[in-house]
A and B are shown apart, each in its own frame.
Chain A
Amino acid sequence: MRNSLGREIPDEWLRKTGKEVYRGPSFRCESSYRKAAPTVRSARLDGHSKVVDSIRSVLEKCGVHDGMYFGFHHHFRDGDYVINLVMKEVAAMGVRDITICASSMGTAHDYIDELIEQGVVSSIQSSGVRGRIGEAISYGKLKRPAVIRSHGGRVRAIEEGDIHLDIAFVGAPTCDEYGNARPVGGKSDCGVLSYSMADARYADKVVVLTDCLVLFPNVPASISMTDVDYVCVVDEIGDPKKIVSNVIRETKDVRELMMADYCARIITESPYFRDGFSFQTGGGGAALAVTKLLRRPMEESGVSIGFAIGGIMKAMCDMMDDGLVKKIVDAQVFDSFAIEHIKRNPNHVEISTSEYANPMNKGAYVNRLDFVILGALEVDVDFNVNVITGSDGIVRGAPGGHPDTAAGARCSIIVAPLIRGRIPTVCDRVLTVTTPGETVDVVVTDYGIAINPRRADLLEAYKYSRLPIMTIEELRDIAYGITGRPDPIPFEDEVVALVEYRDGTILDVIRKIKE
Chain B
Amino acid sequence: MMVAPIELEIGEAIGAPVERKEDHKLLVGQAQWVDNMRVPGMAYMAVVRSPYAHARITRVDVAPALAHADVVAAYSAADLQEEWAGSLPCAWLPTEDTKAPPHLPLAADKARYVGDGVAVVVASSRAAAEDAAELVEVEYEPLPAIVDPEAALAEGAPLVHDELGTNRCYTWRLDAGEVDALFDEAEVIVRGRFRQNRLIPTAIEPRAVLVQPLPANGEFTMWSTTQVPHIARVTLSGVLGIPEAKLRVIAPDVGGGFGSKLNVYAEEALALGLARRLGRAIKWTEGRSEGYLATIHGRDQWQEIELAANADGKISAVRARVVAAMGAYLQLVTPGIPLLGAWLYAGAYDVQGYSFECTGVFTHTTPTDAYRGAGRPEATYAIERAVDALAAKLGKDPVEVRRLNFIREFPNAIAAGLTIDSGDYDAGLDLALGTAGYKELRTEQAERRAKGDPKRLGIGLSTYVEMCGLAPSKILGAIRYSAGGWDTATIRCLPTGTVQVLTGVSPHGQGHETTWSQIAADLLGYDVDEIEVLHGDTAVVPLGMDTYGSRSLAVGGVALYFAAERIVAKARLIAAHKLGVEPSQVDYVRGRFTGPEDSIALKDIALAAWTAHDLPDGVEPGLEASFVYDPPNFSWPSGAHLAVVEVDTETGNVEVLRYIAVDDVGTVVNPLIVDGQIHGGIAQGIAQALFEEAVYDDDGNLLTGNMVSYLVPSAPDLPSYELDRTETPSPTNPLGVKGVGETGAIASPAAVINAVCDALAADGVTDIQMPATPERVWRALEEAKR
Chain A partners chain B: no
Q: Which residues of A contact B (CB under 8 A)?
A: none
Q: Which residues of B contact A (CB under 8 A)?
A: none
